[in-house]
Structure 1
Amino acid sequence: MSLSIKAIDRLFERLAATYGAGWTRQWADVPMADVKTAWAHELATFANSLHRIAWALENLPPKCPNVIEFKALCRLAPAPDVPMLPMPKADPERVKAELAKLGHVPGVKRQAPSGIDHKAWARRIVARHDAGEKLSPTTVRFAREALRSHLVPEAV
């Protein structure tokens, strides 16, 4: 299967109008029917996605492309917007039940009881540094940044 000759004729008209004599001079020594047949064959993969050819025509390079360059340009076309279904809402009771099942898995964050100081590690490091203990400057910097941070909630 190849792209229709009508589509190739329209494509060549547009390219000739865009590039002028440079376009026609490029094919001076080759029969135009053979050129069009080759282009129709090479662009056959876009027969069901003509929007890619249209995109390539809107984004042509400064010099006349050959069929390989034009085909590569067609491949760069963005995918069309596909309507998507809305994300289904999660059932809060089911989510709660599933998270409860993960309570025994290490590394899974659980709701901590209130009153826990989640930045105690940073406070200890700063206190050790202030007491004169020699610590890595990076460690001290991270601890101070953690204590200044408004992005990390106190209880997660």
Structure 2
Amino acid sequence: MSLSLQAIDRLFTRMSVTYGEAWNRSLGQAPINDVKSVWAHELGVFANSLTRIAWALENLPAKCPNVIEFRNLCRQAPMPEAPRLPEPKADPERVRAELAKLGDLKVKVQTKGGDGREWARSILRRYQACERINPTVLRFAREALKEAA
């Protein structure tokens, strides 16, 4: 894929106005149509996202970039945000059913009278019984129980 000649012409005009003689020197001695063809080819990946080229033009470096530097600048452009779908509405019946399930869990926790760290005590019991426990998990369990002390 290649960028259109019209887009390249506009880009070259902008670069010429921005960098002046430095831009003209940067083009070298090659025929201008060959230079434009290389730029069109290198920037062809942005043919469907000209906003990235526009962003690069708004964020030009102080030194006149070559085609590779300009292409890399285009790649730094932030990605446009994808449109978001509206959040689906919750089914009230299903919400009630799921909350009812949690009610049983809440009662179990309250009747045990625990402090919410039973998971940590369980891990330490398993470790003391010579079961292999991931060192990170073991550390977290110990830290959780230290906070309680």
Q: TM-score, normalised by structure 1?
A: 0.64
Which residue of structure 1 aligns with residue 43 of structure 2?
A: 43
Q: Which has the higher helix share?
A: 2
Give aligned pairs, total. 125
AA of the residue aligned to 1:119: D
AA of the residue aligned to 1:85: L
Task: State the alpha-carbon separation in 2 of the partners of residues 84 and 31 from structure 1.
Answer: 47
Deviation of the 1:29 alpha carbon? 1.9
Deviation of the 1:21 alpha carbon? 1.6
Q: Is 2:16 aligned against 1:22?
A: no
Task: State the alpha-carbon separation in 2 of the partners of residues 118 and 88 from structure 1.
Answer: 37
Which residue of structure 1 aligns with residue 148 of structure 2?
A: 143
Where has structure 1 moved over 3 Å in runs of 4 or more?
95-100, 114-118, 138-141
AA of the residue aligned to 1:9: D
Deviation of the 1:83 alpha carbon? 2.6
Which residue of structure 2 aligns with residue 124 of structure 1?
A: none
RMSD, aligned α-carbons: 3.2
Task: State the alpha-carbon separation in 2 of the partners of residues 27 and 90 from structure 1.
Answer: 61
Deviation of the 1:39 alpha carbon? 0.4
Deviation of the 1:50 alpha carbon? 0.8
Which residue of structure 2 aligns with residue 128 of structure 1?
A: none
Task: State the alpha-carbon separation in 2 of the partners of residues 140 and 83 from structure 1.
Answer: 45
Task: State the alpha-carbon separation in 1 of the partners of residues 144 and 80 from structure 2.
Answer: 48
Deviation of the 1:140 alpha carbon? 7.1
- Within-5 A mapping of 1:66-81: 66-81=66-81
Q: TM-score, normalised by structure 2?
A: 0.67
Q: Deviations over 1:84-122 (max 9, x none)?
A: 22110221322454688xx7xxxx9x631174544376x
Which residue of structure 1 aligns with residue 83 of structure 2?
A: 83
AA of the residue aligned to 2:68: I
Contact 2:26 2:66 in 1 (8 A): no
Task: State the alpha-carbon separation in 2 of the partners of residues 119 and 66 from structure 1.
Answer: 64
Task: State the alpha-carbon separation in 2 of the partners of residues 33 and 42 from structure 1.
Answer: 14
Q: Is 2:58 aligned against 1:58?
A: yes
Q: CA 1:141/1:17 → structure 2, altered by over 3 Å: closer, same or farther?
A: farther
Which residue of structure 2 aligns with residue 112 of structure 1?
A: 106
Q: Percent identity?
A: 58
